[in-house]
Structures are given as structure tokens and as C-alpha cells.
Structure 1
Amino acid sequence: MSTTLPRPGASSRLSWSALRDWRPEISSEALILLSSIFFAVLCNGLFWRNAMATNPGNGLFALSLFTLLVGVHALLFGLLVWRWNAKVLLSVLFITTAFAVHYMSSFNVYLDADMLRNVLATDHKESGELMTAALILPLLGYGVLPTALLWRLRIRRRSLGRTFLWRGVFLLGVVLVTAAGAMASFQNISSLMRNHREVRYLATPVNYLIALKQNLSSASPIKHQPKQPIGTDAQATPRAAGSKPRLLVLVVGETVRAQNWGLNGYARQTTPELAQTGAINFPDMHACGSSTEVSLPCMFSPYGRHDYDEKAIRNHQSLLHVLEHAGISTLWRDNQSGCKGVCDGLQIERLDDATLPGLCANGRCMDEILINDLAAQVRAKPGDRVVVLHQLGNHGPSYFERYPAQFRQFAPTCDTADLGKCSREQIVNSYDNAIRYTDHFLSRTIASLREMGDYDTAMIYLSDHGESLGEKGLYLHGMPYAIAPEEQTRVPLLMWFSPGFAADRGLDLQCLRQRTQQRADQDNLFPSVLGLMQVRTSVYDRSRDLFADCTTQS
């Protein structure tokens, strides 16, 4: 009896051939179920950690959560995924979820409608800073590999009638099993949903799919709806003959939190130059949101956080439009990602792509670009003016790129956008150095205003939101407002007035310094600017005007 042995290399060729020809057939319902299990088990580490922390070691609770998480995704996919679109749609979900898993786990991000809006509004410069080497493994494991396997499958063909019959049976089965799983630990599940509702923003990918639907059905800026007018009755109070025109510069800061602001009593003096200017500091200032996409439109709106209505805020004009109605010219100078609808239809000057030597390099500019040629821009139009300077500020995670080398006062620093490679000390040092540069920028802005003797000048600085720097494992910002930590919602507020401005306006600065001991929030900005510039309009709310009780003129 003879035996024929395979030639060397034949076995490996057969294995490769078998792998190449591997094209299993699967029903669309089985594909949906397997995808739902994949997402529930492998892509929801942050969800599981937070949810199980409420009932540690409870196996029945874990089983109920698993059933619920798989069931929710299976129901959603059962409505969206069909044979004709399954591979394309699931491929997009795999890749998108890979990004979501990486950033959620790296920074403890909660993906609600506001956070997704931030993502959708992110420009290429911001997104480029987030594309670090740490993304490679999650993208391969959660995105590329399952996508490659998906495209090896053959999805079973059925007649139209059998397709709907099987899908109906599948959905009914999912509903029954999911309900049974939830009932198995109903008390714990209901307690989780009642007391820790924010956990639902961690269930991926259902979190960003729901957030996308909310953005598409709301007054989201991605819909680019025209603004409804407000304050069309606005009129500026007549001035005495020979009065100098007024210039108010509003500096909108980026991601500076009150806790690290030197003038607020921080252990480090991060604001030494401002301390010498005589500026008035408000230590108890609170933001309208925890992200630029929320805070910026909110602070320039008459609706604000006190009567929060996102649709009304985004659908209506802003403080700048009211000033224009009153005949006060405005200008928005931007070193960031735009005005988020606040200056729609008004004059805007984009400086983030400037190429001025010494201030700009590699597609980014230091914030001093905002005061370059400022006087000439102001004098281009006669009369009172309000100019907004929108900083790049402390925008993370690349804090180390937000200040020139000479402001590297606190070391060692975190010199990468991948915060996971840095100690908390390095991250805080880089962040504080960026504040130190903002201190210099604001001091230079005040110096520039002092030199404009043909105007009565004033400056108001207000950061849009704060930042988490590792407290409770959180980094960056954008937490749902209801659970956002104070580090993300307490911000600096600073004011400076030239002697001429204070005298002409009848502003009692000592009274205003006493006012700083009270709580303030971004809702105060809209009426305070109108009051300061003496604009009469029906949308002015004197009760929220920070200057109302400290002026001798109405």
C-alpha cells in the first residue's frame, strides 16, 4: 500500500485557497443579531464600567443589561438594516463606532446630542489634532477587521413576502426576549435608568444614532436655518455733542476654567499681567453649557440657560444683530472654528488661516493675531463699535500648541495630543501655560485699547466653558450639562474700562467691584452689553444687567 504525500507548500496553498473561497451564507436577521452582540460585548466598555458600578457583582443585573443592550440595537438595526443596504450601513457603523469607542474610553466622553453637534461642527484642524497613533489599534480591531469579515459573507436572498415575514418574527422575538431580560432585574434596571440616566449616552452605537436623529429634527446648526429677527426696535441712546465714540471689545475665551485662573486665587499665578491692569474679576461665573456649540449661541441669546430653549436660541438672531439694529457696527474676528451662528449675516474676519510670520505656523496662529491691525479695522467704520475676538485659547487636547515657547513656565509639559501618554502633572502644566499666554494676550489687548485715544474703550473677557483635566477620570469637556462637573461649567469673567469710558457712561467701578462677590452666569452677557452700550429695546432685561445698579445714567 502506497501513500501519496502532499508536496511541500501544498498544505499552506490549500489553506489559503480555502480561506479565499470562504464565503458563508447568512440571513440578514442573523447578521443583525451577531452585529448587536459584537457592539454590546466589545464596544461598550465604558457603558459596562459605569452601569455595573451601580450594582457590582450582580450577575443577574449584568445578564439583564446584556439582554437589554443587545435587544435595543437589534430592534434599531431590524428597522434600518436590510439585505440591499446591510454591508454598506454596517460598515459605516463599524468604522464610526471604532472612533467613538476610542474617544469615549480615552476621555470619558458621553455621546449625547450636544456632543455629536460638537463633532459635526469640528473643523479639519481640530479633527487633525485628534488623529493620533493611539487610534490605530481601535480602528483596526473595532472597524477594519469586522468590516473585512462582513464583506466575506453572502446574505441569503428571499422573496419579498418571506423577507417581511421573517423580519416581523425576528422583531417580535427580540421584543419578547428583551422585555423578559429587563423584567428579570427590573428593580435594578429601573433604578439605573432613573438615577443614572446619563449612562444611556454611553451605549454605543445607539447613542450617536439617536443623537444624530435629534440633531436632524431640531434647530441644529447643521440644518442652516435662517435666523428670525429679534430686537428690531433697538435704539441707541443719543450722546452729547462732541462725545467720543465707544469701543467695546468682547473677548470670547476658549476652554479656560475658573479653577486655574490666577485672579481667582489659584495656587499658581497664571494671570500676573492682568493683575497689574486694574481689571475687575468675577470669581463666581458659570457657563451656559459645557461645549462651544452650546455656550456660544446661548451667551449671545436673550433666552439663555435661565429659560433654556435650544430651538429658540438657534432659530433667532443674537446680541450682535440687536446692536446692529441700534446702529452700532459689529465685527467678529475669529481664530477658532467660527461663530456658531452668532454672527450670521454680519461682518466676520477669519484669521485662523493667516500667515503672519512670528504668530502663525503650520496652519495655526497664536491669539495675538486677533489684535493685529485691530485699530485700523475698528476705525474703518464710524461711530460706536462692538468687536468680538474669538480665541483659540486653551482648546484641547493640544494645549502645548496654544502658547509660544517663552510661555513654557510650568514644566514638564505634555507635548502631544495623546493625553494618555502624559502624566496628569504634565497635562496641567501645559494647560496652565496656555492660560498664562491668554493672560498676556488680554493684557496686550488692554494696552492696545489704551492707545486708541480717539475712542472710549472697554474690554470684557468671558470663557465659553471649562475643562476637565483628569478629575474623576474625565478629560476635555462636553459632558451633558445636567451632570457636567464644575470644572467644565465654572469660567473666568474679567472687565476693564478706560477712564473715559467709565466717566462717559457714569459707571461706578467701586460698585461694580462689590458686585463681583455675587454669582454671575453667561445669561448676564446679553442684557449687560445692551445696558453698557445704552441700547433701548424690548428684549433688554434690566434684572440680569450686571451694570444696572452701578451706573448713574440709564
Structure 2
Amino acid sequence: MEKLKNLKPLLYFHLFLNLAVVLFITGASYYHTPLQGAKDTVIYFLHLCALQTTLAGFLYVLSLNKWIFRIVFSILFLGYCCFSFWAYSQDVSVTPALIHSVFETKADIAMDVITLPYLLFFLLALIVLLCILKWHSRLNRTHGFKYFIIPALLCMSLFFVLEQKRPGSLKNRLPYNVVYGIKTYSETPSLQLKKDIPSVTTATDSLKVVFVLGETVRADHLGLNGYERNTTPRLSEERNLISYPGLFTSKTYTATSVPQLLTDENLEDSTREFLSVYTVANKAGFHTTWIANQTVEKSFSPIVETNKEQVLVDKYKSEFSFDKKRDEAMLPLLDSVLRLNPKQLITLHMIGSHWWYENRYTDIHRKFRPVIDSKYIPSLSNEQLINSYDNTILYLDHFLAEVISRLKTEEIPSAMVYVSDHGELLGEDGKWLHAQEGEALKNPAYMIWLSDAFLAKYPELTVALSEEQFLAITTDVIFYRLLEILGIELDDLPKH
């Protein structure tokens, strides 16, 4: 009894430590689980206990050294709290896709999801952490070592036993899903581009194509695709515009979707060397220009660099600048580039409909109300969120119509190709934004506008593009459609 009494401070500390981890980290993976009756509640409670037991062993081993515990536990606890807040507040699943997105999202965009509740949650976690560290510093940490070390190691081994019996039952929940997500991200090969390309045949010496790379626009919120709201009043009046409501992608975040759109990568193959559309266009004699209202991410930077010219809106502001301009800021740059050369491929990379929606459009496009007034999504109504999102589509309609109006003044054939990198979740299954699973994310907007001069010069291609309008297609076709519109043929390139 005397020995047990001496061990009480250590036992109480580890009880508090594990309760804190449950409340701030592991419990988040169970918070939104739909439970039907007492049986479900008991089963999931036991599952949580099993998961926490595997962590209890790790926490004990970690606590044996004062400085290792202070440094490692502090980093892990606060780091995991950054993820658990979103699991609690929005039922966000931590997947390799989310980890990829977190590591490669620019600071200016990341700041748009930092809210007061998030900061308060983090502050509370910090206070609890300081209490844990203060308590830990007063303990005789190695007291009872011979009683606890074997059970601790057995608890840790329980993870592997349970994972072998039911793969994914633990590693798909916090905190293990973060570890596996980082592991998957680190094992993903970096983008490799082909330097030597097949011989190129080009059919024209005068053609201007503007490729607009959109952001977070889902096809079913375009009025011209049958959406109940007329979110595309100007584009709906364009007789030479073809919209493709059936486009599919499995890439639900920018870091993976953009490289696939700009190269011959397909949805099933991401390990070989790929061919940049700009490398091909350069070889065919086009002047290639990248104009962006987003800073370039590491995942597609090598592709952007294959353009002959790159222009960034607010080029003297880094990704740590939070004064974002709207996409219209690219139009004067487009005007100046269009005058340079009769044979051009110009890319406009939009900030589009990326959260925070209220930063993405002007007051004149605030048609649908009420709009969002907080960055903390759980405090907003579905109506507010969808209204603000639809207002960004109205602004997109305006922006694309302005691009088209400029191309209409060209005497030579011209075209505009627009495709969004992915869609957006707008409350489906209680989820919002992107970089997670959801069918609405996999149906991005896609449209093509062709000038009268283009229609007259390339009637067969125009018919072929029109015939594809209502087909179920994937983003695999974008690279090939761009080459067809550019009038470029490549030897040994498969047809799509």
C-alpha cells in the first residue's frame, strides 16, 4: 500500500495527461460520429479507449525525460490541436490530400481560415500545456519505472495488433492520421518534366489563346449549366461559348490538380516524367506568358517556369502579404501582353472562388444576400455561405466576359479556355471548402469560347468540341484540347 501511495502523483499526472489529449486531440475524431442508441455509444467509447491506450504507453515513455517531454510533447500537442480544431468545428478528415494542401498552401490563403474561435482554442490548449509541463517538472518521473515500462510498451504494441486485425481502424483517426498523411506526402515523388519532346507540327502563325485557370468553381453553380440562379448573365449571352457540365477530376486540391491540368499527366498516372503544355507551345513558336493572381506553389512551379514570361500581380508583395487584389487586376496585364505577338498562349491564374469569399468580388456583384460575416464557418448559415459563393460566380462571369470582349477585338483567330482546378463543398454531409472527399469537389467548371474567325478557319475542330459538350469527360482531356485549339500536333502522342 505504501508503494501504491508513493505512485499516486505519477498516476494522477498520467490520468490528467491522457484526459487532456482526449479532449484536445483524439476526441475530435469521434465528435461527429452518428450514434444510434446506447450500443453505438458503448462501441465507439471502447474504440476511443483502445486508441487512447496505445497513446498512453507512448506518453509514459516520452515523459521519462524532462527535456525530451518538454520539447517533443509541446510540439506534438500544439501541432495536433491545429488539426483537431477543424475536426471538431467542421468534421474535416485529416487525409494525405489535406496534409499536402496544408504544406503547400500559401500563407495569404491560409490566413483566411484563421478565426477568433481557432485562436481561442489554441490559447486554451496552450494554457493546458503549460499546466502539464509545470506538473511534469515536479514529478519523480522515473519512480515506479519497473512497474510501468512493460505495460507501457504493451500498450504501444496494441496499435499494431488492432491495425492488423482491422487495417485503418486507428491510423485513420487523430493523431495517427496526421503521421500517416505526412509519411504519404514525404513519399510522393516531386514533379519531373520532360526536356526532350517529340517533333511538333503547327498549323498556324497567327492565333491568340487565353487559358484561364480557375479556382474552386463547381460546374453545378453556373447558370449556363442549369443552376437555378442566373450566376452567369453575361456568359449566357455568348453564342460562341461551350460549357461542359460533365467534367470529372479526382484531384480535389490545387497542389495536385494544377500539375495534372497543365501536363499530359492523367488521373491514374503520377509517377513518370510529364510534358508541360508550355514546353510544347514554345517549340511550336508560341509566346507563352503566365499572369497570376496567386503566388506559385512548389507543386507546379516547374511548369510555370516553362513559360517564356511570368508576371505576378503585386510582384513586390510576397505570399506573406495579405492585401489581396481581385482578379480584375490581371486585365491590364493581359491588355499589354496581347499586343506583343500574333501567336500567343496566355495563362491567367485566378484566385477565383477560394475562401474567404467576401474578398473575391466587388460590391456591385453582391447580389445574393445575406452574405458571410465571419470566418468561423460553424457560426454561419448555409444560406450565407452559398450566397457569398454564388456572388463569386457572378464576379467570375464578369471577369471571363471581359477577357472575351478583349479577344473579340482581335482580327486573327482567338479562343478562351476556362477550367477550374476543383470544386467546393457547400454543406454536403456537413462539410465545407475542399482538400477532402466529396462528389461536389470532383465536378469543376469547364468552358471554351471561340471567336468568329476561329470558327471560320477551324470548322471541323469546332464541331468536335461541340459534340463533347454533354459527355462525361475527365480532366485528362484538358492538355489535349489545348493542343488541338493551338493547332499543334505531336508525334507519338496518344489521342484523347
1:367 aligns with 2:349: no
1:132 aligns with 2:92: no
Match of 1:390? Answer: 349
Cα deviations by residue, 1:205-235 (Å, 9 ceiling, x for unpaired): 2222221222223225xxxx7x341561241
Match of 1:338? Answer: 296
Match of 1:217? Answer: 187
1:280 aligns with 2:242: yes
Match of 1:38? Answer: 20
Match of 2:230? Answer: 269
* Bigger Cα displacement from structure 2, 48-57 vs 492-501: 48-57
In structure 1, what is the Cα distance between the partners aligned to 2:459 and 2:142? 81
Match of 1:419? Answer: 377
1:462 aligns with 2:462: no
1:497 to 440, 444, 450: 450
In structure 1, what is the Cα distance between the partners aligned to 2:76 and 2:388? 35
1:475 to 432, 445, 448: 432
Unpaired segments ≥5 residues, structure 1: 1-23, 356-360, 545-554
Match of 1:377? Answer: 337
Q: How do 1:27-66 residues align onto structure 2 when only pairs under 5 Å count?
A: 35=17, 37-51=19-33, 53=35, 57-58=39-40, 61-66=43-48
User: Could you tell me how far 1:122 is from its partner in structure 2?
Assistant: 2.0
The normalised TM-score by structure 2 is 0.85
Cα deviations by residue, 1:138-170 (Å, 9 ceiling, x for unpaired): 1123333224432442265769xx99x999735
Q: What amino acid does structure 1 have at the position aligned with 2:403? A: T
Match of 1:320? Answer: 278
In structure 2, what is the Cα distance between the partners aligned to 1:119 and 1:82? 32
* Bigger Cα displacement from structure 2, 281-290 vs 528-537: 528-537
In structure 2, what is the Cα distance between the partners aligned to 1:327 and 1:255? 32
In structure 1, what is the Cα distance between the partners aligned to 2:492 and 2:260? 15
User: Could you tell me how far 1:80 is from its partner in structure 2?
Assistant: 7.4
Between the aligned residues of both structures, percent identity stands at 23
Q: Contact 1:230 / 1:316 at 8 angstroms: preserved in 2?
A: no
Match of 2:198? Answer: 233
Q: Contact 1:449 / 1:458 at 8 angstroms: preserved in 2?
A: yes
Match of 2:176? Answer: 206
Question: Secondary structure, in 3 states, of the residue corresponding to 2:304?
Answer: coil
1:308 aligns with 2:269: yes
Q: Contact 2:353 / 2:392 at 8 angstroms: preserved in 1?
A: yes
Q: What amino acid does structure 2 have at the position aligned with 1:204? A: L
Q: How do 1:128-277 residues align onto structure 2 when only pairs under 5 Å count?
A: 128-154=111-137, 169-175=150-156, 182=162, 190=166, 200-201=171-172, 203-219=173-189, 227-229=192-194, 232-239=197-204, 245-277=206-238
User: Could you tell me how far 1:437 is from its partner in structure 2?
Assistant: 0.4
In structure 2, what is the Cα distance between the partners aligned to 1:395 and 1:539? 38
Question: Secondary structure, in 3 states, of the residue corresponding to 1:364?
Answer: coil
In structure 1, what is the Cα distance between the partners aligned to 2:280 and 2:150? 58
Question: Secondary structure, in 3 states, of the residue corresponding to 1:416?
Answer: coil
Question: Secondary structure, in 3 states, of the residue corresponding to 2:444?
Answer: strand
1:233–1:91: structure 2 CA closer, same or farther, 3 Å change rule? Answer: same
1:110 to 61, 75, 93: 93
1:298 aligns with 2:260: yes
Q: Contact 2:422 / 2:442 at 8 angstroms: preserved in 1?
A: yes
In structure 1, what is the Cα distance between the partners aligned to 2:81 and 2:282? 46
Q: What amino acid does structure 1 have at the position aligned with 2:334? A: L
CA RMSD of aligned residues (A): 3.4
User: Could you tell me how far 1:402 is from its partner in structure 2?
Assistant: 0.9
User: Could you tell me how far 1:82 is from its partner in structure 2?
Assistant: 6.6
Q: Of the two structures, which has the highest relative contact order with CA contacts closer than 8 Å and spacing of 6 or more?
A: 2
Match of 2:104? Answer: 121
Match of 1:4? Answer: none
In structure 2, what is the Cα distance between the partners aligned to 1:445 and 1:354? 25
Cα deviations by residue, 1:258-286 (Å, 9 ceiling, x for unpaired): 22111111110000100111211111111
Q: Contact 1:67 / 1:178 at 8 angstroms: preserved in 2?
A: no
Match of 2:4? Answer: none
In structure 1, what is the Cα distance between the partners aligned to 2:286 and 2:55? 53
In structure 2, what is the Cα distance between the partners aligned to 1:327 and 1:274? 31
1:153–1:176: structure 2 CA closer, same or farther, 3 Å change rule? Answer: closer
Cα deviations by residue, 1:313-365 (Å, 9 ceiling, x for unpaired): xx64532233234433322111123254231353321115579xxxxx97111
Q: Contact 1:283 / 1:516 at 8 angstroms: preserved in 2?
A: yes
Q: Contact 1:290 / 1:466 at 8 angstroms: preserved in 2?
A: yes
Match of 2:490? Answer: 537
Question: Secondary structure, in 3 states, of the residue corresponding to 2:447?
Answer: strand
User: Could you tell me how far 1:81 is from its partner in structure 2?
Assistant: 7.5
* Bigger Cα displacement from structure 2, 294-303 vs 387-396: 294-303
Unpaired segments ≥5 residues, structure 2: 1-6
